[in-house]
């Protein structure tokens, strides 16, 4: 990649909000985006004048397929009263709104704009699981990956198998990610799943008693996750609880130039690093145990920010599957190759650990409305860095945080680094 350049002008997040992620059969993308915009507006300490916003960037993967609605950016701009501003949709598979953030950052850093709205949205649950699988498959290489019979669970299962073969991880070692992220999601009222695995077990035990069914013999959460009736295999070694859910949701950020940031808040969060990279399709990968695009995007973001992986105190990473979080924490430089799963097992990445990862619950528990995921990650970083995450507030001080948003089969990646001053 070319030498990383610095931002020519500072950029800050001055507001952040999201709708509840989950199943919203009675709402559209437009409804969810309005909810996210209203939550963002309420988070801006000193408020703002709608007329001050100069452009809109929206991450969205496939509103045409999910809702039969294309050209969604100006429609959403209309919904929140921002016509006739320029409104641009960004599509980069699951990294769509991470890429939208980058476009917003560059628009301000270039001097073209001073205040922009960045959002992300997806409404997926109006379709069947099979139809959603077809829609998501289009984000892979149809000529090679999908033509070979792969689905996304199959692709990440292949990565997990390669990782286990090289580093000796057992399938049950993936449970630590599931347990951690569900525990975090249980404390996030905006998450799709707001239950820890122990809560899910208790609910199923209660249902068995109510129905007069035999009581399951689960001695602990790991036994539950090993029970094929409760947690069936989707693509070995990945089980149901290794997979992010199909979700609806939206999220919004207000970005401002650094010079104007304190006109909106006394506690802005500055964007100091931004990196984006692409990669070949999976058929041309020589190693399934890492994501080259993540490594390159992270390298660019670290160089721009002038920091190292060890300086990052909190991260939201793209855990579309449990193995994806493990690989991401290694590719981002937090842990040596082959050790990421052990760090999770040892509590290093727990909410109360020294290097919290996915305090929001991650995609695994917070949910994964694909076009909204990247912005949703930054909403969590905004809250954590400002000490506003409530019962899930991490224990460590967070002067620096990172968001990692992956697209397709790893062929797109966007990484941003944030600073509290």
Gap between the Cα atoms of 75 and 35, Å rounded: 15
Find out whether 115 and 48 touch, Cβ atoms under 8 Å. Answer: yes
Q: How many CB atoms lie within 10 A of CB 55?
A: 22
Rg (CA), the chain: 20
Closest CA to 241 of 328, 321, 129, 345: 321
State the burial class of residue 65 (Cβ atoms within 10 Å of its Cβ: 0-12, 13-18, 19+). middle
Provide the Cα torsion 132, 135, 138, 139; round to 10°: -70
Q: In the annotation, is 413 catalytic?
A: no
Provide the Cα torsion 104, 108, 112, 116; round to 10°: 50
> Both tokens of residue 409?
């089969």
Closest CA to 124 of 328, 370, 296: 370
Closest CA to 42 of 401, 310, 382, 354: 382
Catalytic residue among 24, 182, 368, 416: 368
Find out whether 18 and 369 touch, Cβ atoms under 8 Å. Answer: no
Provide the Cα torsion 261, 267, 273, 279; round to 10°: -100
Closest CA to 264 of 76, 42, 82: 42
Find out whether 171 and 233 touch, Cβ atoms under 8 Å. Answer: no
Q: Which residues have a Cβ under 8 Å from the Cβ of 315 and sit 6 or more positions away?
A: 329, 332, 334, 355, 356, 357, 358, 401, 402, 403, 404
Q: In the annotation, is 416 catalytic?
A: no
SS3 content of the chain, % helix, strand, coil (to 5): 40, 20, 40
> Both tokens of residue 204?
């199923």
Residue with tokens 């950052």: 105
**Known catalytic residues?**
94, 368
């Amino acid at each position: 990649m070319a030498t990383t350049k610095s931002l020519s002008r500072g950029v800050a997040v001055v507001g952040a909000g999201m709708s509840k992620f989950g199943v919203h059969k009675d709402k559209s993308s437009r409804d969810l985006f309005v909810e996210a915009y209203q939550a963002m507006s309420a988070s801006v300490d000193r408020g703002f004048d709608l007329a001050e916003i100069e452009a809109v960037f929206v991450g969205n993967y496939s509103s045409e397929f999910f809702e039969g609605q294309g050209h969604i950016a100006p429609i959403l701009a209309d919904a929140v009263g921002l016509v006739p501003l320029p409104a641009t949709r960004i599509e980069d598979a699951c990294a769509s709104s991470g890429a939208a953030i980058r476009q917003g950052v560059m628009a301000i850093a270039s001097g073209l704009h001073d205040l922009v709205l960045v959002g992300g949205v997806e409404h997926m649950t109006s379709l069947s699981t099979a139809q959603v699988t077809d829609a998501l498959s289009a984000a892979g290489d149809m000529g090679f990956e999908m033509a070979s019979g792969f689905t996304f669970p199959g692709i990440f299962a292949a990565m997990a198998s390669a990782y286990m073969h090289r580093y000796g991880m057992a399938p049950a070692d993936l449970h630590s990610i599931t347990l951690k992220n569900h525990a975090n999601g249980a404390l996030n009222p905006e998450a799709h799943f707001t239950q820890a695995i122990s809560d899910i077990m208790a609910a199923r035990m209660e249902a068995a008693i109510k129905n007069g069914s035999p009581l399951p013999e689960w001695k602990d959460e790991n036994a539950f996750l090993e029970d094929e009736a409760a947690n069936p295999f989707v693509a070995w070694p990945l089980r149901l609880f290794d997979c992010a859910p199909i979700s609806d949701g939206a999220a919004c950020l207000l970005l401002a130039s650094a010079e104007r940031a304190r006109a909106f808040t006394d506690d802005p969060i500055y964007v100091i690093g931004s990196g984006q990279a692409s990669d070949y399709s999976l058929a041309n990968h020589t190693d399934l145990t890492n994501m080259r695009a993540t490594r390159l995007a992270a390298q660019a973001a670290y160089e721009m920010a002038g920091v190292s992986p060890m300086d990052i105190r909190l991260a939201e990473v793209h855990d579309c599957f449990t193995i994806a979080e493990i690989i991401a924490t290694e590719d981002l430089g937090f842990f040596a190759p082959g050790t990421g799963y052990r760090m999770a097992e040892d509590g290093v990445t727990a909410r109360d650990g020294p290097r919290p990862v996915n305090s929001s619950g991650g995609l695994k528990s917070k949910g994964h409305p694909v076009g909204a995921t990247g912005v949703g990650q930054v909403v969590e970083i905004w809250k954590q860095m400002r000490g506003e995450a409530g019962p899930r507030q991490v224990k460590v001080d967070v002067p620096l945080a990172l968001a990692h948003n992956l697209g397709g089969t790893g062929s797109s990646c966007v990484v941003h680094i944030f600073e509290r001053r």
